[in-house]
Amino acid sequence: MHDHWKDRWSSIETVSRLAQRRYSGNAAAALDGNGGLYVPGRWNNKGQRVVYTASSRALAMLERLVHLDVGLHDASVELSFMEFVLPSSVSRNVLSPTMLENLVAKHGSSTEPPDWRVADHPLCRRLGAAWIASLRSCLLIIPSSIVPGDANVLINPEHPDMAKIIAANAGRFVLDAYQPDQRIADVVQMASVSKTGS
């Protein structure tokens, strides 16, 4: 079966990231991946530098929301949007939803969830950690576990191709004052329901 998701996202040209405001004028700091040194993520072990980015501003906002302990309105005071250009010469690998489903079926243990979209799935972390350590490519294009069909992009700051990534835009993140956090949370919930029903 042809992998249309892979076709759609393998040539992605721009990514977005919600970064702490102090990084908005410093692309190098925003892409240093140092957060992974202190905490594990879905695709990294603690102690591994990696940068999580999204295929759109909207997805970057949703991805950030699900990892916040406070409301997005409260956090927005501290955040800014950053966008980066990924030239075609930047090396990349792709893990599509179909590929992940096959890998979970083949290599997942009986004690692990059968759905890779489960938070902190052990196989996702093993795959990401191995990719980071291998320096196989600068980018790993992966499916969003929140919005079916969309993509996130991991950036390995240790890879030489990091120098090719271009900071394109940065600006204060301002959320509509009339858009309550609950409504945004509802969007995330709707995406989750759509995902499980597909």
Q: Are 156 and 44 in contact (CB under 8 A)?
A: no
Average pLDDT for runs of 10 along the chain of length 198: 94 91 73 91 96 94 72 59 94 97 90 90 95 98 94 98 90 59 52 45
- The CATH topology of domain 4-197 is Diphtheria Toxin; domain 1 (3.90.175)
Query: Residue 45 forms beta bridges with which residues?
Result: none
* pTM summary value: 0.84
